Amino acid sequence: MGKIKVAVAGVGNCCSALVQGVKHYSTPKDEKDVSVLNVEIGGYRVSDIEFVAAFDVDARKVGQDLSRAIFAEPNNTIKFSDVGELGVTVQKAEILDGVGEYVKDRITVSPADPVDISEVLKNAGAEILINFLPTGALNASRYYAVEAMDSGCGYANATPAKIASVKAWQKRFRDAKVTLAGDDVMDQIGSTIIHKAVLKTLVERGIIIDESYQLDIGGGTESLNALERTRAEIKRATKKASVESVVPYSFPLVAGSSDYVDFMENARTSYFWISGRYFGSAPFTMDMRLNTVEGPACAAIMIDVIRAMKVALDRGISGPLLSISAFAFKMPPKTAPPEIAQKWFHEFVSGKRDR
């Protein structure tokens, strides 16, 4: 089937887990591990993913081989695989709004000159560019979207920046004949997908939801970044809209990051509370807690996104990828309940849906 040539913008914890995951699951024995959602997608296996370019602004990463940069500070996700030399040097990108107020003391900005992103993508033969920038990097996310279009490279927006979910951007990607997926990746196991699944089950059982919240705390850079109010509101808005989509009426809901705890490192604890009524208006409340590691939860989904986007490229499909986006992202161009989105995804991969 050939290799899938991938570039990454933002060499943080999610990128670290993705690169480690490609290495870890690239042997037939490990690839059958239940942690991989789909062993094969459109004939492509995890071992077919090849990293060809990477961009960041931190001096501890810029100029380093990607195999070393993924373990450089301030990255703090778990190490579950040794990664040999990849022959991909992390290159300096424009900063724009990529460094937030609360993380600027943890980022050592490289003095190197920024590279021409589209030129690097073209020279590397990149087919898919993944945007792993921090929440709130709106201008930088848009900048990479334009660079992807200019280079003819598919764009997967893993951040809450509104690109794939905006009609104007959809048209621009269609006109450029470039594939687009997003926005805001939904973890393999995370607060949003769990919250949606529980609420959907309750609603289907005839239960009325009166109020609910979902609050996250963590020690990764993303949790620290969320302390900046304007960036936090962007993330809260996408989480809230995604969770609300499974309940057919309005109800008080709060969803998003609430605090940063440095010694938690890349771990995250999510607290859920649901209040409602069932038969005879009898009241109930539900409390839940979920503990996860952020990086791997994100990477598991992106491994499927990469391979499904390659299927789209092979078929000459451009513009927004509706099935892939509904399956893998919180704010897709077209929303669907989780089980429907998963059905669409498999239908697309098998050729039963055109996008």
pLDDT (tens digit per residue) in 41-99: 999 999 999 999 999 999 999 999 999 999 999 999 999 999 999 999 999 999 988 67
Superfamily of domain 191-293: Dihydrodipicolinate Reductase; domain 2 (3.30.360.10)
* Structure tokens belonging to residue 82: 């040794």
Q: How far apart are CA 49 and CA 7, in angstroms?
A: 10
Expressed in percent and rounded to 5, the helix, strand and coil fractions of the chain are 40, 25, 40
Residue 327: its pLDDT value, please?
97
Residue 236: its pLDDT value, please?
87
Residue 103: its pLDDT value, please?
80
Sign (positive/negative) of CA torsion 119, 121, 122, 128?
negative
Q: Where are the alpha helices (DSSP H) in 134-208?
A: 138-151, 167-176, 191-204
Residue 274: its pLDDT value, please?
98
DSSP conformation class of 187: P
State pLDDT tens for residues 302-335. Answer: 999 999 999 999 999 999 999 999 999 999 999 9
Please work out, in degrees rounded to the nearest 5, the angle formed at the alpha carbon of residue 236 by the alpha carbons of 234 and 237: 65
pLDDT band at residue 157 under the 50/70/90 scheme: very high
User: Do residues 126 and 151 make contact, with C-beta atoms less than 8 angstroms apart?
Assistant: yes
User: Do residues 323 and 344 make contact, with C-beta atoms less than 8 angstroms apart?
Assistant: yes
Residue 235: its pLDDT value, please?
82
Cα–Cα distances in angstroms (integers) from residue 193 to residues 324, 327, 337, in the given order = 16, 11, 10
Q: Which residue has the higher pLDDT, 234 or 16?
A: 16
Helix and strand counts by DSSP (H, E) for the chain:
12, 13
User: Do residues 195 and 273 make contact, with C-beta atoms less than 8 angstroms apart?
Assistant: no
Rounded to two decimals, the pTM is 0.93
Secondary structure of residue 86 in the 3-state scheme: coil
pLDDT band at residue 32 under the 50/70/90 scheme: low
User: Do residues 223 and 203 make contact, with C-beta atoms less than 8 angstroms apart?
Assistant: no
Residue 35: its pLDDT value, please?
77
Q: Using CB atoms within 10 A of its CB, is residue 213 exposed (0-12), middle (13-18) or buried (19+)?
A: middle
Residue 222: its pLDDT value, please?
80
Superfamily of domain 4-186+296-349: NAD(P)-binding Rossmann-like Domain (3.40.50.720)
State pLDDT tens for residues 99-145. Answer: 777 787 888 999 999 999 999 999 999 999 999 998 889 999 999 99
Closest CA to 341 of 332, 350, 200: 332
336 has pLDDT over 70: yes
Q: How far apart are CA 156 and CA 177, in angstroms?
A: 15
State pLDDT tens for residues 177-221. Answer: 999 999 999 999 999 999 999 999 999 999 999 999 999 999 988
- Domain boundaries of the chain, sorted by first residue: 4-186+296-349, 191-293
